[in-house]
Amino acid sequence: MTTQQQNTGVTAAKGFRASGVTAGLKASGAPDLALVVNDGPLLAAAGVFTLNRVKAAPVLWSEQVLKGGQVSAFVLNSGGANACTGPGGFQDTHATAEKVAGELGLNAGEVAVASTGLIGVRLPMDVLLPGVEQAAKALSADGGEAAAIAIKTTDTVHKTAQVTSAAGWTVGGMAKGAGMLAPGLATMLVVLTTDAVLESAELDAALRAATRTTFDRVDSDGCMSTNDTVLLLASGASEVTPDQAEFAEAVRAVSADLARQLVGDAEGASKDIRIDVTGAATEDEAVDVARTIARNNLLKCALHGEDPNWGRVLAAIGTTKAAFDPDRLDVAINGVWVCRDGCVGEDRDLVDMTGRDIVITADLKAGRASASVWTNDLTADYVHENSAYSS
Amino acid sequence: MTTQQQNTGVTAAKGFRASGVTAGLKASGAPDLALVVNDGPLLAAAGVFTLNRVKAAPVLWSEQVLKGGQVSAFVLNSGGANACTGPGGFQDTHATAEKVAGELGLNAGEVAVASTGLIGVRLPMDVLLPGVEQAAKALSADGGEAAAIAIKTTDTVHKTAQVTSAAGWTVGGMAKGAGMLAPGLATMLVVLTTDAVLESAELDAALRAATRTTFDRVDSDGCMSTNDTVLLLASGASEVTPDQAEFAEAVRAVSADLARQLVGDAEGASKDIRIDVTGAATEDEAVDVARTIARNNLLKCALHGEDPNWGRVLAAIGTTKAAFDPDRLDVAINGVWVCRDGCVGEDRDLVDMTGRDIVITADLKAGRASASVWTNDLTADYVHENSAYSS
């Protein structure tokens, strides 16, 4: 596989057009509406959505659309989450899908919708619907970058990734947000596209396998979104039926690339942190321990301060139900085993934490399973961004 | 019941002496060693400890002491948690208890020990043991305030409380820390004393009932400590056997007073927040929902910014498994029902959040159970204090 750069994100694969325009939903005047259209010949699709029980209107809508297994277009707006907006909010989503369908001559039941922004505020449909007309006119076979820009909220950079197989097919994608799929922060939206020839069930298997170890294991701040949506659309335009394992790996690679970009651009973060848990009895326990470490505010503050405070790692592990013996726990920070057998190990002064990347390794010595979770430090900038967000 | 002020904290009840001295464990030179002695005639005691599976040496020691149901003295140090210190750390705790026993002519098996401070560092016993001699000499029947001062770590004020019954007995106490019992932050230590005549089993019942709805429901930052300890000691010196219900209420009142003081002095906090969950199917679900709301970093930032961001309350509730219908949730902030039936309610501009106290009410409309959890906002000062703590 090679990475191609000539056309980026959701239009890297053949058979897709995209656009990103300024409808006027954001006070800043930045682009706020993206449209991705699958020109086929296939319209196969798979999706995963937030597990939050409080789901935004577009999530409820798109879950229904995906049940049909066909998506011809996907419209995404920033500047408003359309969550906790009641029946009126759902009608707004429906009207948005109908508008896309009308502009492009499609069936509204095959138009997926995603929204991101502040919860609890209705979308200004008098602004959004003309934006859809504009987005439809702007569709282009190299519109992937414009679309990625239009879905940004607090993102400082837009995120795209793509992988092309020697067999002649491509998987590309775009993402916004700084958090995880389920739970997820302040709304992660991801669109993956491929021109490989695949059925929806095959897409679904590849997508679920990929998200399980990528987007699902990004935990920037432990807050689950009402709007998280990840769709994988296949056009079949390459006319190549891929090897399933190679295709699954390509979807995983693009997802991992985008997930890594999300962590790298998380709100207010100054450190990108990977928590590796090894020696767990089961993978579920490894994930649980890694996630619990990743969510410990005291530790996240210490890491921000470049303080190799391994005691806070142990205190976090101790709150889980995973199999381990407190007197046998080993913890390394950036490769220095500062904790051995539950107490002081190598000299903490040997730990170099000056770089942006930090790796914490916790060996539970209770089995052979392992897992990694990606997170960020907790900073004054995070507090500032999130205390001023809606005001 | 009335509150008496002439003698405070752990020496408000008759039969107790206490002291607080500077052993030299803290670089600041602030007092760091407290001693509380029960002069009887009873030595009845009950205790609750952190549920963290990584327990500090003094917790492991004191759990054993409490199994005997008798505590003649309780020695507490700040300036070091003696957690994750291995067998050597446990020997240090044992030696501390032996030293107290030797100085006072007691049985070391009846001397409880608590420590608070940085995890993973051995205590300097050459400094601590002479401090014990000093503390034994300083014991006084009005030493409650000095003891409360000596157990402070990042606390900005010392915390004491007391209640006296018309029947002639008193419950008093002191606390340090800013968090909850289980889970608990950066070490909550609480000592309650009474001169009422009670057996250990009666003390245990009153203590567990009290902590369940007070210390257990303070959740400043969701981080569970390795050292949390709450002991209730009875001297019987009043020679009055109390009405059990009145006694239980007194223990609850003193615990609630101290818990409230902990929230009011939490690290870096600018808001004291009570989360009231009503209409829950069960009390456990009410507590779970309240705790989940209390731990949501995005919401805690919004409250810091005086932003009535009720969408973040709903997003937090949606991550729980409690019984509720997302389309029927009501949320009030400081009495203004900003969310009705899962969507926009009263005008959010009506919410006054300028004061230090904030009350969030969430009505699940799924039953008749309710619960409250106390927390704080998330601030840049919290990040600063906890990123610089051990460095």
pLDDT cut 70: percent of chain A above it? 95
pLDDT tens readout for residues B134-161: 999 999 999 999 999 999 988 889 999 9
Report helix, strand or coil for B204. helix
Residue from the list B120, B315, B341 with its beta carbon closest to the beta carbon of A52: B315
Interval B119-137: pLDDT, tens? 889 999 999 999 999 999 9
Long-range contacts, stretch A298-302, CB < 8 angstroms, 24+ apart: A298/B185, A298/B186, A298/B221, A298/B223, A298/B386, A300/A375, A300/A376, A300/A377, A300/A378, A301/A377, A301/A378, A301/B382, A301/B383, A301/B385, A301/B386, A301/B387, A301/B389, A302/B386, A302/B387, A302/B389, A302/B390
- The answer to whether the CB of A178 falls within 8 A of the CB of A155 is yes
pLDDT digits (tens, 9 = 90+) for A77-100: 999 999 999 999 999 999 999 999
Contact: A304, B383; criterion CB under 8 Å: yes
Contacts A380 to B, Cβ<8 Å? 380, 383-384
Mean pLDDT of A121-147: 97
ipTM: 0.85
Of B52, B326, B389, the CB nearest to A54: B326
pLDDT band at A302 (very low <50, low <70, confident <90, very high): very high
C-alpha span between A367 and A316 (Å, rounded):
19
Instruction: Give the pLDDT of residue A177.
Output: 82
User: Within 13 Å and on the Cβ side, how many CA atoms surround B11?
Assistant: 21
Bigger pLDDT: B233 vs B51: B233
Reference B136, options B96, B190, B82; nearest CA is B96
Distances (CA, A) of B9 to B85, B149, B242, B257: 31, 11, 20, 12
Which of B297, B375, B384 should we substitute to test contact with A (largest number of A Cβ atoms within 10 Å)?
B297
What are residue B359's phi and psi, to 5 degrees? -120, 125
Predicted local distance difference test score (pLDDT) of residue B177: 82
Cβ contacts (< 8 Å) between A315 and chain B: which residues? 52, 54, 83, 119, 223-226
Residue B192 has pLDDT above 90, yes or no: yes
To the nearest 10°, report the CA torsion of A293, A294, A295, A296: 50
Distance CA B377, CA B259 (A): 16
What spatial distance separates the first Cα and last Cα of chain A, rounded to whole Å? Answer: 46
**What are the tokens at B302?**
């919004």
Are the CB atoms for B186 and B385 separated by under 8 Å?
no
DSSP structure class, residue B278:
E
Instruction: Return d(Cα B251, Cα B253) in angstroms, integer.
Output: 5
Classify the phi-psi angles of A118: left when phi > 0, otherwise alpha if psi is within -120 to 50, otherwise beta: beta
- Check whether B59 has a pLDDT greater than 80: yes
Domain range annotation of chain A: 9-261, 272-387
Q: Distances in Å between the alpha carbon of B384 and those of A273, A300, A352, A356?
A: 19, 11, 20, 18
Q: How far apart are CA B8 and CA B30, in angstroms?
A: 20
Q: What is the pLDDT of residues B162-190, one digit of tens each?
A: 999 999 999 999 999 865 445 444 468 99
pTM: 0.87
Report whether A361 contacts A207 (CB < 8 A): no
Flag whether pLDDT at B262 surpasses 60: yes
Residue pLDDT, tens place only, B347-371 = 999 999 999 999 999 999 999 999 9
pLDDT digits (tens, 9 = 90+) for B324-344: 999 999 999 999 999 999 999
Please compute, for residue A210, the number of CA atoms within 13 A of its CA located in the half-sphere on the CB side. Answer: 31
- Residues of B designated catalytic: 187
Contacts of B324 in chain A (CB under 8 A): 53
pLDDT tier at A2, thresholds 50, 70, 90: very low
Higher pLDDT, A219 or A110: A110
Note whether B221 contacts A316, CB cutoff 8 Å. no
Of residues B136 and B7, which shows the higher confidence score?
A: B136
Question: Apex CA B91: angle with CA B87 and CA B92, to 5°?
Answer: 115
Is A318's CB within 8 Å of B54's CB?
A: yes
Kind and range of the H or E run holding B340: strand B336-340
On chain A, the residues whose CB falls within 8 A of the CB of B387 are: 301-302, 304-305, 307
How much is the average pLDDT of A254-271? 89
Nearest to B389 by CA among B83, B179, B119, B125: B119
Considering the domain B9-264 in this protein, what is its CATH number? 3.60.70.12
Q: Region A339-361: what's the mean pLDDT? A: 95
CB contact under 8 A, B185 and A339: no
Q: What angle is formed at CA A79 by the lines to CA B296 and CA B360, rounded to 5 degrees?
A: 30
The CA distance from B379 to the nearest CA of chain A, in Å, is 6
User: How does the average pLDDT of chain A come out, rounded?
Assistant: 92
User: CB–CB of A76/A97 below 8 Å?
Assistant: no
Question: β-pairing, B33-38 with B73-77?
Answer: antiparallel
Residue A359 has pLDDT above 70, yes or no: yes
Please tell me whether A14 is known to bind a ligand: no
Q: What is the homologous superfamily of the domain A9-261 according to CATH?
A: L-amino peptidase D-ALA esterase/amidase (3.60.70.12)
Residue positions counted in chain B: 391
CA–CA distance, A176 with A171 (Å, rounded to integer): 17
**Model confidence at A196: pLDDT above 70:** yes
- Residue B4: predicted pLDDT: 45
Tell me whether domains A9-261 and A272-387 share a fold. Answer: no
A341 contacts in chain B (CB < 8 Å)? 86
Q: Do B11 and B144 touch, CB atoms closer than 8 A? A: yes
Question: What's at A142, amino acid-wise?
Answer: D
**The one-letter amino acid at B28:** S
How many beta carbons lie within 10 A of that of residue A391, not counting itself? 10
Distance CA A315, CA A317 (A): 6
Question: Which segments within A170-258 are labelled E, that is strand?
Answer: 170-176, 189-194, 229-234
d(CA B377, nearest CA chain A) in Å: 10
pLDDT for the residue A6:
62
Lowest mean pLDDT among A377-391, B62-76, B100-114, B299-313: A377-391
Q: What is the mean pLDDT of residues B15-33?
A: 96
Q: CATH homologous superfamily of domain B272-387? A: ArgJ beta chain, C-terminal domain (3.10.20.340)
Q: Which residue has the higher pLDDT, B88 or A6?
A: B88
Q: Which residue reads 């009153």 in tokens?
A: B206
Confidence category of residue A178, pLDDT binned at 50, 70, 90 = low
Q: Among residues of chain A, what percentage have pLDDT more than 90?
A: 79
What distance in Å separates residue B249's CA from the closest CA in chain A? 30
